[in-house]
Amino acid sequence: MEVAIETRQLTVAYGAQPALWNVDVRIPLLKMTGIVGPNGAGKSTLLKAILGTVPRLSGEVVLHRDAGRNGTAVGYVPQRNAVDWDFPITVFDLVTMGTYGRLRWFQRPGKREREEAREALAQVRMEEFADRQIGELSGGQQQRVFLARALVQQASIYLMDEPFASVDAKTENMLIDVLHRLRDEGNTIVLVHHDLTTVADYFDHVVLLNRKLVASGATATTFTPENVEHAYGVAGQHLVQRHP
Amino acid sequence: MSEFWSDYTVRVVFAGSAMVGAVSGALGCFAYLRRQSLVGDVVAHSSLLGIVLAFWSVYLVTGAGDKSLYVLIPGAVAAGLASLLLTRLVTRNSRIKEDAGLGVMLAVFFGTGMMLLRWLQRAQPPVPGRSGLDDYLFGMAAATTSKDLWMIGSLGAAAILTMLVNWSRLKVLAFDPEYAAGIGLPVRWLEVLLLSLMVVGIVIGLQIAGVVLMISLLVAPAASARQWTSRLGRMVTLASVLGAACASGGALISATSRNLPTGPAIVVLVTLTFVVSILFAPNRGLLFRRRHLAD
Amino acid sequence: MPTELWTLAIATVTSVTCALCGSLLLVARKSMVSEGLSHAVLPGLVLAFVLVRDYNSPWLILSAAASGMVMVWLTQLVQRSGLVDDDAGLGIVFAGMFSVGILLVTANLRNTHFHADCIVDGNLALAPLDRLEIGGTDWGPRSWVVMCVMLFVVTTFVVVAFKELRAGIFDPTLARRFGLRPALLQFVWLGIVSTTTVAAFNVAGSILIVALMIAPPAAACLLTDRLDRLMVVASLVAVAGSIGGFQVAVLIDVSPTGPIASFAGLLFLLVFAFAPRRGLVAKWWERVQHRAEIGELLVLEMVSTGGREAVDTIVAPPAERVRTIARLMAGGHLHESNGELQVTPAGEERLAAALR
């Protein structure tokens, strides 16, 4: 198994409260990995530690040597509630932001960047909304646009924080299709996910987290009742059951 | 009328306030979008302390009272930034919420500023040149000199240029700071830059709009412009134009009538602009919305 | 009683009244509304004066308080439209109303009481000279009487409606379910705050009102948790601010409003720095201890999973790691045998307890 992201003895704390505790995890290359665990398990913190936006107390994060060869190494889709939806920015502008990380100082997005933004919008089937202000979109459409912004980064690893939160089933299916296609085209996808009923369908690989690493490995062998119980407590079993 | 325009003072006042309005309007957009409108209010009030201290220390050193902006603006910037940083220190290290933290800094900086201002005005022997200092409360555009004009112009131009050069970065930062950090932008540095730009946008307007009402010249054009467009570039441009128009209009009204302070005249104009905008702007305006619902 | 003592008495009763109102604003997270109110009452005050031409007419207070409520209403209107950021809405509305007031003053009342300076500074120093006489009896300075009445009204209101206020401010939804009407209640208490602002405006001016409504309650909330104690502590801080500021004012011979405002603010900063548990120093000490605690746990964890080499993955500087290890060994959580570090049973227990 080739490894896209490896954390070694990674610890992050907020005050005296450990958020991630001595986590050794290996996320495989060219696979779709789900990070699951109860609230406060450190799932978002793990993404931020990989991005390097929270201070580590111990350990290190190693990215695959090929990551970042074409663009930024890691594309990031934050939780949707973090932004101001009344901000005067169009869908197209927002997607173009994905190129800012590689622009030099003084440089403005040019023809090439705009072309890439348009392609990314086409991939998530949002071309016709390019000139809309972002507040005028539905929740699912907003999530698609954020995905497009990550695509424009031309990363080879994509980190997404609960992209399916408050998104309708149709959009969720559409997003999953795009993500699977992305994976098949040679990218690594990492999602923080909270709906245990869909874990088995969506992910090749799963990381169960509860501040410490509970289990990590191929979904079929790792996403077992014992491990879920270990991460969530006894109640975890009910979460896996699909509601009719 | 031609006689009026050929008057040197009138031209200086007109040019100065137009520049101030344009710069404050443009930079105010970022304050508005980052929900820091009241921060602007507190920075403006706090500058009074810096203005008085700068005036006084120059007097102590040179023995002459110098009210030119070259002296007063650095003081205003320092006091404005200090109140900002103290507010952050308080809100980040205690349970005090931002609005209470801002209010406290208002009390400390503006209260102390007023105290020193009054003391300076009564001090014996009299400090030369102290009489116009309280014009900074409500603004007195007529006091602008051509030397001040250069100061306003060069600072304003520098601020606008900096904003344009860093446009894309400031845009991501204002919209989504977490994402900005994620794509490796120097977020902390950009934050400081944005705050400094806001402080500059405020202090260059103090002479014309006054510390008490500066908030309106900073945010009302931005809030108005936001109603007419959903693009940041257009919003900043429009806010800048609205700011310039209202500021120069207000300054002229005040300059042509006796003793009418400039700040209130300008603020009445920007407030009217704001009211018109939230009522009549297409798509968003309240009247439009009513009709929309009725259809 | 000498004039100066009267001034101090008026300042004190004003500051306590403002501090009580401010405590409500603080817990409702509406502190900056006082900045708005202290400016927005001006047009109402001036309009009423233009109409009745009498400083002492009760119409002035009514009209100005109404003007404050108009500001509250306009701000809520703008906020509810969803078109404008809340803070900006407040700022634009109060600045607009204040400007109208100033323009009215400069247009109509140039040589009156409403000098621009008084609007900011107030008239505290002269307040004792304006006596209230009813039926030939001298009841003391007018503003003293007015502020005492306000203090009585505010205190009574707070005592009578304490339960409703606390519920209505902290949890409006719950309050509504209990049949309390939080919207109505908020209207009433903001009305009282607005009236207090007006009553204090003449003596305190706009700076002092904001300072007294925000700084003492903010200081108090670093010292206590409960709303009733918060109000008491805020009042005490306000009194201390008045006395201290007044002394400074006498010393340098200026109007006392500026010094009292700045003194109240400085008292807050003192409390902020040194308050037990919540002050800056206490927080800093807490952070140091947290860092030490988590550092020790981390060393225990690393030693127990990977031995001494694993300790090197800790980001903290080597000297700090060495100190941490020494502390742990002294505390009996680590011991060394044959040059190898080992976690003792006590250490393992501590580690397990911390991560439970």
Q: pLDDT at position B3, please?
A: 61
* Chain A residues with at least one Cβ partner in B under 8 Å: 51, 53, 72, 74, 76, 78, 82-84, 86-90, 93-94, 97-98, 100-101, 103, 105-106, 108-109, 133, 153
Contact criterion met (CB < 8 Å) for C293 and A16: yes
On the question of pLDDT at B237 being above 50, the answer is: yes
What is the overall mean pLDDT for chain B? 88
Q: How many CB atoms lie within 10 A of CB B71?
A: 18
Residues facing A27 on adjacent strands: A5
3-state secondary structure of A155: coil
Q: Which residues of B touch C206 (CB under 8 A)?
A: 212
- C30 Cβ contact list (under 8 Å, min separation 6): B99
Q: Which CATH class is domain C281-354?
A: mainly alpha
Q: Which domains does chain A have, with CATH numbers?
A: 1-67+156-244 (3.40.50.300), 83-154 (no CATH)
* C286: closest chain A residue by CA: A15
CB pairs under 8 A between A and B: 69
Contact criterion met (CB < 8 Å) for C96 and B274: yes
On the question of pLDDT at C178 being above 80, the answer is: no
On the question of pLDDT at C115 being above 80, the answer is: no
Backbone angles phi, psi at A125, to 5 degrees: 55, 55
CB pairs under 8 A between B and C: 213
On the question of pLDDT at A235 being above 70, the answer is: no
Cα C306 to Cα B42, C302, C303, C349, distances in angstroms:
54, 6, 5, 18
Q: How many CB atoms lie within 10 A of CB C136?
A: 5
**Interstrand relation of A3-14 and A58-63 (parallel, antiparallel or unpaired):** antiparallel
The beta-carbon neighbor of A15 closest among C290, C295, C315 is C290
Contact criterion met (CB < 8 Å) for A76 and B179: yes
On the question of pLDDT at A150 being above 50, the answer is: yes
Q: Classify the C-alpha dihedral C278-C279-C285-C291 as positive or negative.
A: positive
The beta-carbon neighbor of B106 closest among C85, C103, C210 is C210
On the question of pLDDT at C309 being above 60, the answer is: yes
Q: Which residues of C touch B215 (CB under 8 A)?
A: 91-92, 95
On the question of pLDDT at B292 being above 60, the answer is: no
Q: Which residues of B touch C254 (CB under 8 A)?
A: 115, 118-119, 122
Model pTM score: 0.87
Q: pLDDT at position A123, please?
A: 86
Contact criterion met (CB < 8 Å) for B264 and C99: yes
A interface test, pick of B183, B188, B238 with most A CB neighbours within 10 Å: B183
Kindly indicate the confidence band of residue B295, based on its pLDDT and cuts at 50, 70 and 90.
very low
Highest-confidence range of A152-156, B59-63, C243-247, C305-309, by mean pLDDT? C243-247
The beta-carbon neighbor of C92 closest among B104, B137, B216 is B216
Q: Would an 8 Å CB–CB cutoff place C315 in contact with chain A? A: yes
ipTM of predicted complex: 0.90
Q: Topology of domain B2-294, per CATH? A: ABC transporter involved in vitamin B12 uptake, BtuC (1.10.3470)
Residue with tokens 């002479």: B207
Q: Check if the beta carbon of residue C195 is closer than 8 Å to that of residue C147.
A: no
Smallest Cα distance from A174 to chain B, Å: 24
pLDDT one-digit tens code per residue, B74-113: 999 999 999 999 999 999 888 898 889 999 999 899 999 9
Q: What is the DSSP string of chain A?
A: --EEEEEEEEEEEETTEEEEEEEEEEEETTSEEEEE-STTSSHHHHHHHHHT-S--SEEEEEE-TTTTSSS-SEEEE--GGGS-TTSS-BHHHHHHGGGGGGSPTT----HHHHHHHHHHHHHTT-GGGTTSBGGGS-HHHHHHHHHHHHHHTT-SEEEEE-TTTT--HHHHHHHHHHHHHHHHTT-EEEEE---GGGHHHH-SEEEEEESEEEEEEEHHHHS-HHHHHHHH-TTHHHHHSPP-
Q: What is the distance, to the nearest Å, from the Cα of residue B212 to the centroid of all Cα atoms in its chain?
A: 10
Q: Would an 8 Å CB–CB cutoff place B147 in contact with chain C? A: no
Contact criterion met (CB < 8 Å) for A82 and B178: yes
* C315: closest chain A residue by CA: A58
The whole-number average pLDDT for the span B40-51 is 94
Percent of chain B with pLDDT over 70: 96
- B51 Cβ contact list (under 8 Å, min separation 6): B72, B75, B76, B79, B113, B133, B136, B206
Contact criterion met (CB < 8 Å) for A100 and B172: yes
- Residue B128 or residue A183, greater confidence: A183
Q: Would an 8 Å CB–CB cutoff place B174 in contact with chain A? A: yes
On the question of pLDDT at A238 being above 70, the answer is: no
Query: What CA–CA distance (Å, rounded) separates B52 from B60?
Result: 12
Query: What CA–CA distance (Å, rounded) separates B177 from B189?
Result: 12
> Which tokens go with C26?
């603080």
Q: Which of B146-155, C31-40, C104-113 has the lowest mean pLDDT?
A: C104-113
Query: What CA–CA distance (Å, rounded) separates C330 from C315?
Result: 23
The whole-number average pLDDT for the span A139-144 is 85
The whole-number average pLDDT for the span C286-304 is 90
Contact criterion met (CB < 8 Å) for A87 and B179: no
The whole-number average pLDDT for the span C211-229 is 93
Q: Which residues of C touch A49 (CB under 8 A)?
A: none
Q: Would an 8 Å CB–CB cutoff place A56 in contact with chain C? A: yes
**Interstrand relation of A74-77 and C131-134 (parallel, antiparallel or unpaired):** unpaired
pLDDT one-digit tens code per residue, C6-21: 899 999 999 999 999 9
Domain boundaries defined on chain B: 2-294
Q: pLDDT at position A244, please?
A: 43
Query: What CA–CA distance (Å, rounded) separates C293 from C299?
Result: 10
Contact criterion met (CB < 8 Å) for B95 and C221: yes
Q: Would an 8 Å CB–CB cutoff place C121 in contact with chain B? A: yes
Smallest Cα distance from B249 to chain A, Å: 28
The whole-number average pLDDT for the span B211-215 is 90
Angle B35-B40-B43 (CA atoms, 0-180°, nearest 5)?
140
C3-276 carries CATH number 3.40.190.10: no
Q: How many CB atoms lie within 10 A of CB C270?
A: 13
The whole-number average pLDDT for the span B208-231 is 93
pLDDT one-digit tens code per residue, A35-88: 999 988 999 999 999 988 888 999 899 888 766 555 567 888 887 767 888 899
On the question of pLDDT at B18 being above 60, the answer is: yes
Domain boundaries defined on chain C: 3-276, 281-354
- Residue B179 or residue C150, greater confidence: C150
Q: Which residues of A touch B235 (CB under 8 A)?
A: 88
Q: Which residues of C touch A86 (CB under 8 A)?
A: 82, 85
Contact criterion met (CB < 8 Å) for B176 and A72: no
A interface test, pick of C288, C298, C299, C324 with most A CB neighbours within 10 Å: C298
Query: What CA–CA distance (Å, rounded) separates C40 from A193?
Result: 50
Q: Which of B235-239, B282-286, C189-193 has the lowest mean pLDDT?
A: B282-286
Q: Would an 8 Å CB–CB cutoff place C116 in contact with chain B? A: yes
* A106: closest chain B residue by CA: B165
pLDDT one-digit tens code per residue, C72-102: 999 999 988 888 988 899 999 999 999 999 8
Residues facing A3 on adjacent strands: A28
Contact criterion met (CB < 8 Å) for C294 and A18: yes
Taken as a whole, chain A contains a residue count of: 244
Query: What CA–CA distance (Å, rounded) separates C56 from C132?
Result: 10
Q: Which of A198-207, B57-66, B228-237, C146-155 has the lowest mean pLDDT?
A: B57-66
**Interstrand relation of C334-337 and C340-343 (parallel, antiparallel or unpaired):** antiparallel
* C122: closest chain B residue by CA: B114
Contact criterion met (CB < 8 Å) for B278 and C268: no
> Which tokens go with C126?
């002269």
